[in-house]
Amino acid sequence: MIPQKFEYSAPKSLDEALALLARGAKPLAGGMSLIPMMKLRLAAPEHLVDLRRLRGLDDIRESGRGLEIGAIATHYDVENSPLIRQKCPLLAETAGAIGDVQVRNMGTIGGSVAHADPSADYPAALQALEARFVLKGAKGERTVSAADFFLDAFTTALETGEIVREILVPSDDARTGTSYKKVAQPASGFAIVGVAARVRQKEGKFSFVRIGITGLGNSAYRAVACERALEGRPATPAAIESAAALAAQGIDANSDLHASADYRRHLAAVHTARALATALSRIV
């Protein structure tokens, strides 16, 4: 199908872009979600503002806040950035699991998180990383945690006229092990269930555990029950299996043509155990 007619702007400054968005225009990043929705007439924006020409919005750098990742950085950029691969390998691994090569070359991290698809890969990793989102609008800037950003299916804390300007993630060292495991929908590559794990150990016990899960419910979440069951416990396969059984606790699991709610809960437990075991094995 052909989308309805729309106005197109490609501003050269962020202030110009934000002014247009404040008047009701829709931001365009990689277009991997928005363009197909427009072709199907599921979205019909009257005005698109292309953010891809804004300088600096794709920067990836390290600061006192950790790693700062510009919203227009593509999945390919995130996957292959030497800085991210060294300091935040979980995010690089997750980016490499997204879609296919064409999607990774065009899609952006900011666009993906702003779209908040319940089966997107990034949200699991960003929950485990306790990421923060710098949101920018014509009236100012604010920072929101991952726990407060993802609200529901396709729903975030973004307000009208705001964009994700950058994403802040921690700079980890080799004492932190990470892993992302998922069951991918064969056609789209989206996660039927995806689990991101980030762990540290001390004297044979888990000293730090963060687990993010996507695809199971309406939005990605921290598996806090699993984390609490592991921290301070021996880093053993038995402890991991016991804690992984709590992965879906308190979550209303989705059910669709790809997987029933019960099967998704089963996948969450299995892949939480696998992600934890792999993360543990990667600690140097």
What's the rounded mean pLDDT across residues 23-30? Answer: 93
Residue 157 lies in a domain: yes
The number of folded domains in the chain is 3
pLDDT single digits (tens) 171-221: 998 899 999 999 999 999 999 999 999 999 999 999 999 999 999 999 999
Write the CATH number for 15: 3.30.43.10
Residue 67 lies in a domain: yes
pTM metric for this prediction: 0.95
Residue 55 lies in a domain: no
- Domain end point (choices 112, 135, 169): 169
Q: 275 and 231, same structural domain? A: yes
Write the CATH number for 135: 3.30.465.10
Q: 69 and 34, same structural domain? A: no
Structure tokens at 245: 């059984």
pLDDT at 3 over 90: no
Place of tokens 């960003």: 126
The residue that leads in pLDDT, 3 or 229, is 229
Amino acid 2: pLDDT? 83
Instruction: In whole angstroms, give the CA distance from residue 51 to residue 57.
Output: 8
Residue 2 lies in a domain: no
pLDDT single digits (tens) 232-270: 999 999 999 999 999 999 999 999 999 999 999 999 999
Q: 163 and 65, same structural domain? A: yes
**DSSP conformation letters of 126-171:** HHHTT-EEEEEETTEEEEEEHHHHEEETTEESPPTT-EEEEEEE--
From the number of C-beta atoms within 10 Å of its C-beta (0-12, 13-18, 19+), residue 237 rates as exposed
Q: 189 and 151, same structural domain? A: no
User: What confidence category does residue 170 fall into, taking pLDDT thresholds of 50, 70 and 90?
Assistant: very high
What's the rounded mean pLDDT across residues 140-167? Answer: 96
- Domain end point (choices 137, 169, 201): 169
Q: 235 and 162, same structural domain? A: no
What is the percent of the chain where pLDDT is above 70? 100
What's the rounded mean pLDDT across residues 20-38? Answer: 92
Amino acid 149: pLDDT? 98
Residue 182 lies in a domain: yes
- Domain end point (choices 169, 197, 231): 169
Residue 1 lies in a domain: no
Amino acid 1: pLDDT? 72
Write the CATH number for 205: 3.30.390.50
Q: 64 and 46, same structural domain? A: no
Q: 118 and 42, same structural domain? A: no
Structure tokens at 234: 């021996």
Residue 210: give the domain boundaries: 177-281
